[in-house]
Structure 1
Amino acid sequence: MLGYSWKRARLSLKGKRNQEQFEFKQGQIETLKKLEDSGYIDLYFGDESHFGLTPNVPYAWQTKENPMLLPAAKGKYLNVVGLMTRKSKLYFEVLETTFNSDRIICFMNRFVEQTVKKTIVILDNSPIHKSKKFMAKIQEWKEKDVFIYFLPPYSPELNLIEILWRRIKYQWLDFDAYKCFKNLKEQLNLVLNNFGIKYDIKF
């Protein structure tokens, strides 16, 4: 009605970023996509996300007589680190503890060893990506033809894996995943392991 639609309001960081830098990096990423399409490189978008028992979907069909109630469980999370391509290929790891620089470095070391061609990994400016330990590994990975490309600050729109996290949280996890931690763990692993097969994103 009158151009309005009922949809979830989303947070924006546009006001904090340098728009000129954003557009410059955006253009570079489009060039990287073309290089990937030509078969010259592999291009991955990387990030971490966490999943807890507080549901991200606040609405569900239910009756007045039999409302759907979820346990108010907080503090326990599954943490996922992932590297995703535009062809829905996902390299990931799930932990019940938080990721730190050491764990991210171990994850990246395993990823680097299975690459087969020149590879670009796009990451944000998270402190664990910019730690002294992580930055010290960049040259070693570069020597194995894996290059880290950092996004400008406050630019989540440029990191396509953010779309994956939203799809999982708001669409792909069934409502009963939030009934207990066991359900959440099983369903999250089901989605992650079937990404590109049962669950897909068209970029």
Structure 2
Amino acid sequence: MPYGWQFRDEDVFIPSQRAHRLNIFGMIDQNNRYEGFSTQESITADKVADFLDRLSFRIKKDTFVVLDNACVHRGKLIAELRPIWEKRGLFLFFLPPYSPHLNIAETLWRILKGKWLRPADYVSADSLFHATNRALAAVGDELVINFVHAA
């Protein structure tokens, strides 16, 4: 829930469960073209490298992928594959530390959680996984983000 309220002397709590997880690795451009995957497992450097490798075969022109400084983005495997991807026209650009405001994918995650997913989608892990994947599949078609840059 993006917000809530309570009476002054009332204790409010929401029990949480750690039984399930949903991790997403995704990218979006300012034209609402989304690429990514979701998993119930941890996102590892192997998964990221596999995704970027597949992407490098599909691109038709030089493409820059903006990454934050997560350890799975900065690992040995990514560094080893980077020259191969650059020969295919896929270039990695790393954001400065502590700068999520420069990453437009953060806007996607904020809107996904705050607008596109409903409270009812959180009833079960299955409904959350389904609603999340349904929303991500609709990005660019039925669901769009208006990325506005004011200079």
Superposed CA deviations along residues 42-96 of structure 1, whole A, max 9, x for unmatched, are xxxxxxxxxxxxxx42449xxxxxxxxx774324111111121110000111111
Q: Which residue of 1 aligns with 2:113?
A: 169
Q: Which runs of 4+ in 1 moved over 3 A?
A: none
Output the amino acid matched with 1:100.
T
Q: Are residues 1:82 and 2:29 paired?
A: no
| 1:71 and 1:179 in contact (8 A); partners too | no
Q: Among the aligned pairs, what percent are the same residue?
A: 29
* RMSD over aligned Cα atoms: 1.8
In 1: Cα distance, 2:15 partner to 2:99 partner: 34
Output the amino acid matched with 1:138.
R
Q: Which residue of 2 aligns with 1:102?
A: 46
Q: Which residue of 1 aligns with 2:55?
A: 111
Q: Which blocks of at least 5 consecutive residues in structure 1 are unaligned? A: 1-55, 61-69
1:196 corresponds, among 140, 145, 148, to 140
TM-score, normalised to structure 2's length? 0.87
Q: Which residue of 2 aligns with 1:126?
A: 70
Q: Which blocks of at least 5 consecutive residues in structure 2 are unaligned? A: 6-13
| 1:83 and 1:90 in contact (8 A); partners too | yes
TM-score, normalised to structure 1's length? 0.65
Output the amino acid matched with 2:60.
V
Q: How many residues align?
A: 140
Q: Which residue of 2 aligns with 1:157?
A: 101
2:89 corresponds, among 132, 141, 145, to 145
Rg comparison, structure with higher value: 1
Q: Which residue of 1 aligns with 2:123?
A: 179
